[in-house]
Amino acid sequence: MTLTGNLLIGQRAVPGNRETIRAIDPSSNQALEPAYAGASSEQMAQACTLAWAAFDTYRETPLEQRAGFLETIAEQIEALGDALIDRAHAETGLPKARLLGERGRTCAQLRTFARVVRAGEWLDVRVDNALPERQPLPRPDLRQRQVALGPVAVFGASNFPLAFSVAGGDTASALAAGCPVVVKAHGAHPGTSELVGLAVARAVAQCELPEGVFSLLYGAGRELGIGLVTDPRIKAVGFTGSRSGGLALCQAAQARPEPIPVYAEMSAINPVFLFDGALRSRSETLAQGFVTSLTQGAGQFCTNPGLVVARQGPALEHFLVVASAHVGQAAAQTMLTPAIANAYADGVAALSENQNARCAANSLPAQGPNQCQAQLFVTTAQAFLADPTLQAEVFGAASLVVACANDEQIRQVAEHLEGQLTATLHLDEADLDSARRLLPTLERKAGRILVNGWPTGVEVSDAMVHGGPFPATSDARSTSVGTAAILRFLRPVCYQDFPDALLPGALQQANPLHLRRLLDGQREA
Ligand code: NAP
């Protein structure tokens, strides 16, 4: 398939008329064809106008049609075949096996949201029938359902070019909720974005939906990105990336005459707590598991274990010796972009220069450009508590081990942490009391708490939470992975004393959609 470098404004593929970018193959620093010209503010406005025009029709599409649309997107992505994997590999340096898995996850995610749409539980229908005889005042007839927020601006993430990009989790959940989507492609993988964008556009046409349901734009964050977030027709934002980028979007959204929600997933170091019993009984296995999780995908996961907390002593010393040996044997890996590789080098340099951190190990030297050498640093709880820079995210395969004098210091370290996507506990039976004492702190700090596992690898399921207090995300009340992600793009509307014929189908007395309603305080079977 020939890439064109065109924007997709609804069903129209047109060249942008701002400055151009080309993808860079990070394994060679070679620029890739074609050039992608950024969208002008007029072109961005056209996409937003189309999205707004599509909104009222799209949000009332029958559940079956909307579910079919999500499934058709998955089919169209699969139909792209090897061309998609080859291009994504060239643009990101990610191994093809990883990209094949990510494509599977992307399509499964779309199909999962199709199931969610069909089931209709997300409409959360509540019916309080009128009580005309109630004393001292009658109760009106009240009916509530969830409606879509409006067009959503989605920022593709660099580290998941398929599963969190053009047709990734944010797009799938927004479309499932009934929101048209305008995507700002990530500049690191424009060709991958074009291929997936064309697949979505084909699905829009095949399902006979209004063209404004989906647009794809290229351009610089500070111009196009801020332009999208401040366009009055955009009603919510989905973002994964840096803390500074996420905060810039939050500030722009809050400064609008009509502020809107920004669901930004930004920065986390995902602490791992190794309790005494576990460390004494299996420090070697823990060290191996830890280094595998740390170095997977060059550490370019938001759930990468960037902090290990444990009590000092012989068991921790042994863990460090084994972990250092595994890090020392790990090969350097190509990072996603030159900018990300530079940011990683800066983060590692800051830790290396920190008087209070000692470098315990680094992996084999780089064999090519933009490669990440895994790094393991060690510090004390006292130093960690005194120096906030030691908990800055270093995006890549770097981690800091904090040696604590006792349980109380472990608790202080946990209490001192910023908000996190995950917190992990490695424990044995004998550690349960220590873990129980730490749990209230961790519940305040993290969106997901794991026992005896590793935080990398995020299941797309009903119970998953991929979120957490700031700076993990800008809104801790939601998740960006899993079916609950649909809730971010919905709001409740109550209909009072409506004649049945004027009510939306979901709220009509005969329940034509066969929804499980909350009817006069009782959940229907
Ligand atoms: P990024 O720089 O935050 O960029 C993500 C998207 O946001 C891009 O489309 C970018 O557009 C836009 N953007 C960035 N700053 C903006 C601003 N001030 N105003 C408006 N839009 C803005 O993230 P990245 O390129 O993926 O990686 C850079 C760093 O982000 C990494 O080194 C890492 O530290 C962090 N990161 C973290 C995670 C995580 O999950 N925790 C994931 C990915 C990246 P432009 O590219 O056109 O500026």
Report pLDDT for 420. 98
Nearest CA residue ID for atom 15, ligand 1:
245
Nearest CA residue ID for atom 29, ligand 1:
242
The alpha carbon of 241 and the centre of ligand 1 are apart by a number of angstroms equal to 4
- The answer to whether residue 84 is domain-embedded is yes
Taking only the tens place, the pLDDT of each residue in 240-270 is: 999 999 999 999 999 999 999 999 999 999 9
The alpha carbon of 436 and the centre of ligand 1 are apart by a number of angstroms equal to 37
The alpha carbon of 250 and the centre of ligand 1 are apart by a number of angstroms equal to 13
Alpha helical stretches, state H, 130-219: 169-177, 190-206
Nearest CA residue ID for atom 48, ligand 1:
221
Residues 138 and 211 in one domain: yes
> Of 297, 334, 335, which Cα lies nearest the Cα of 101?
297
Q: Is 10 in the pocket of ligand 1 (CB under 6 A)?
A: no
Q: Which CATH number is 27's domain given?
A: 3.40.605.10
The alpha carbon of 354 and the centre of ligand 1 are apart by a number of angstroms equal to 26
Q: Is 155 in the pocket of ligand 1 (CB under 6 A)?
A: yes
Helix axes of 96-119 and 82-92: crossing angle, nearest 10 degrees: 120
The two beta strands, 24-25 and 30-31, are antiparallel
Pocket test for ligand 1, best of 19, 158, 474 (most atoms within 8 A of CB): 158
The two beta strands, 262-265 and 236-240, are parallel
Residues 164 and 279 in one domain: no
Q: Is 395 in the pocket of ligand 1 (CB under 6 A)?
A: yes
Q: How far apart are CA 19 and CA 16, in angstroms?
A: 8
Residues 164 and 32 in one domain: yes
The alpha carbon of 187 and the centre of ligand 1 are apart by a number of angstroms equal to 10
Question: Is 265 noted as a catalytic residue in this protein?
Answer: yes
- The answer to whether residue 494 is domain-embedded is no
- The answer to whether residue 16 is domain-embedded is no
Residues 447 and 483 in one domain: no
Q: Which CATH number is 358's domain given?
A: 3.40.309.10
Residues 242 and 325 in one domain: no
Nearest CA residue ID for atom 44, ligand 1:
241
Domain around 344: 271-451
Q: How far apart are CA 73 and CA 107, in angstroms?
A: 8
Q: Which atom of ligand 1 is nearest to the CA of 343?
A: 32
- Which DSSP state fits 306? -
Q: Is 186 in the pocket of ligand 1 (CB under 6 A)?
A: yes
211 contacts 54 by C-beta, under 8 angstroms: yes
Catalytic pick from 102, 265, 393, 418? 265
Q: Is 343 in the pocket of ligand 1 (CB under 6 A)?
A: yes
Q: How far apart are CA 425 and CA 107, in angstroms?
A: 32
Residues 197 and 138 in one domain: yes
Q: Is 189 in the pocket of ligand 1 (CB under 6 A)?
A: no
Cβ neighbours of residue 216 closer than 8 Å, sequence gap 6 or more: 7, 8, 166, 182, 183, 185, 193, 194, 197, 200, 201
Q: Is 157 in the pocket of ligand 1 (CB under 6 A)?
A: yes
> Of 492, 487, 506, which Cα lies nearest the Cα of 174?
487
Q: Is 222 in the pocket of ligand 1 (CB under 6 A)?
A: yes
Residues 56 and 114 in one domain: yes
- The answer to whether residue 523 is domain-embedded is no
Q: How many domains does the chain have?
A: 2
Report pLDDT for 520. 98
Residue 484 CB-half CA count within 13 A: 12
Residues 243 and 275 in one domain: no
Burial of 369: CB neighbours in 10 Å, binned 0-12, 13-18, 19+: middle
Residue 138 preceded by cis peptide, ω within 30: no
Nearest CA residue ID for atom 17, ligand 1:
245
Residues 201 and 89 in one domain: yes
Residues 130 and 279 in one domain: no
200 contacts 169 by C-beta, under 8 angstroms: no
Residue 395 host element (H or E):
none
- The answer to whether residue 2 is domain-embedded is no
Handedness of CA 165, 166, 170, 173 (dihedral sign): negative
Catalytic pick from 179, 302, 372, 404? 302
- The answer to whether residue 306 is domain-embedded is yes
Q: How far apart are CA 114 and CA 24, in angstroms?
A: 35
- The answer to whether residue 495 is domain-embedded is no
Side chain identity, residue 508 = Q
The distance from CA 101 to its chain's CA centroid, rounded to whole angstroms, is 17
Residues 206 and 63 in one domain: yes
Report pLDDT for 1. 78
Residues of the chain below pLDDT 50: none
Q: Is 145 in the pocket of ligand 1 (CB under 6 A)?
A: no
Residues 128 and 172 in one domain: yes
Residue 489 vs residues 23, 316, 408, 471: alpha-carbon distances, Å: 31, 45, 41, 21
- The answer to whether residue 352 is domain-embedded is yes
Which residue shows structure tokens 């151009």? Answer: 20
Q: Is 476 in the pocket of ligand 1 (CB under 6 A)?
A: no
